[in-house]
Amino acid sequence: MSRIADAIVVGAGIVGAACAEALALDGWRVRVFESARPHGRATAAGMGHVLVLDDSEAQFALTRLGRELWRSRTWQDEVERDDCGTLWIAADDEEFAAARAKARWYAARGVTTELLDEAQLRAAEPELRHGLRGALRIRDDLVVYPPAATVQMLANARAHGAVVEQERPVALVGDGGLELVDGTRHSAALVVVAAGLDTPALLARRPDALRLRAKKGHLLISDRVRRADGRGFVSHQLVELGYLKSAHGGASESVAFNAQPRRTGQVLRGSSRPYDVVDPRIDSAMLAAMIARAIEYLPRIGSLPGLRAWTGLRPSTADNLPFVGPLPEAPRTFVAAGHEGLGITTSLSTARLVADLAADRVPSLDPMPFAPGRALEATHG
C-alpha cells in the first residue's frame, strides 16, 4: 500500500473540494479521488442558496459559520455571487406571527433581520401576488453558482500542493487507507470520505451506522428576463415560510415555493422532495406541482420560458444534520456527508470543522451534534 499523501479526500463535490482546500491550506499533502468529474452530481444540481437556518441550534451554528466564511471570500464574478438576501414569505397572519418569532430567535443570536409588511413586501418584490401578509428579510444571505465555486476551491487546493484525480473511483475505505476500483491501494494519515450517497457503501464495515436517505429534487431555470424598469423578475431569494416544514416533514412527497434570482437575469425555481427515489428522470407530475406552487406566489412566472429542468439526489440523515468527523472505531477515517439541501452553505464550515479536528485544534463549533458515532448510538439504543 503506497503512501501518496498525508490526507486523501474521496469525492470532489463542493464539500470534498472545501475539505481538500482547508487541509491543503493547513499544510497537509492532499490527494483527491473523484469517481467521475468534480462537481458533477449533487453539487451540479444545487441551487446555491447560502443562508442561516433555525431548524436546530446545531444547524444554526453550522449554517451561520458557513455563511460567515462565504461572506469573507473575495469571489464575486468567479462564482456568480449575488448578495440578494432572503425573503421568507408569510402568506397570512399565522405565518406572519411565525416570522415574528423567527426574527426574535435570530436577534437573540446576533443575526440581523427585518420584518416587512404587505406594502413593503410589494415594493421589494412587485411580481408577488397581492394579499401576502409580509415577509422576514435576511439581508446577509447570498447566492453562488455551486460548480464554479467548487472549481475555485479545487484550484486553491492545487495552488497549495493538492493533486486532484478525476475518473478514479474508490472501491473501499479502511482506517487510514483505501482501495481503488482498479485494485490500487493507498494509505494516508487521514482519509476524508465526502462521497454523498455513496459514503456508506465505501465504508462497508459500517453500513447501518451511516444511513443516508435520498431526497430527490427538481429545479427549473427560466430564460433571461428583465422587467420594464430594468430590474430582474425577482430581486431576492424568495422562500415560503412553510418550506422547512416541507423539507423536513415526513411526507413521502412535497413541494414548496422557492425562487432564486441569477446574475444572468434568469430565475431558478424549486423545490420538491420525493423521498427514496433514485431515478434521475424528470417526474412531470412533480414538476407541474412545483410550477403550480410558484404561480400561487408569482402569478406571471408561468409566462417565463423555461430553458431547462433537472433533478438531483440530496443525501439526508435522520436528524437533518450531516455526519462530520472521525468514525469511532476508525479515527483516521473522517466522514463529511449527509448535508441534504445545505451542502453549499455548509461546505466551508464543514471543511473548517474537519480541518480543526484533524489538526487537534479547538474546533470552531461544537462537533458533537455532527459526530458520525451518534448514528451508531441511535441504532443500538
Domains of the chain with CATH codes? 2-45+146-211+320-379 (3.50.50.60), 82-141+213-316 (3.30.9.10)
What pLDDT score does 245 carry? Answer: 53
| Residue whose C-alpha is closest to residue 256's, from 268, 269, 267, 265 | 269
Tell me if 15 sits within 8 A of 344, measured CB to CB: no
Q: How far apart are CA 305 and CA 29, in angstroms?
A: 47
What pLDDT score does 230 carry? Answer: 63
**What are the percentages of helix, strand and coil residues in the chain, rounded to 5?**
35, 25, 40
pLDDT profile of the chain (381 residues), mean per 10: 90 98 98 94 94 97 98 95 97 96 98 98 96 97 97 98 97 94 96 96 73 91 78 93 58 81 92 80 93 96 92 92 94 96 97 98 97 69 47
What pLDDT score does 210 carry? Answer: 84
What pLDDT score does 272 carry? Answer: 85
Q: Identify the three-state secondary structure at position 249.
A: coil
Measure CA 199 to chain center.
Answer: 16
Tell me if 59 sits within 8 A of 343, measured CB to CB: no
Which residue has cell 471570500?
73
Q: Identify the three-state secondary structure at position 328.
A: coil
Annotate 51-75 with b (16+ C-beta within 10 A) or e (fewer). bbbbeeebbbbbbbbbbebbeeeee
What pLDDT score does 246 carry? Answer: 47
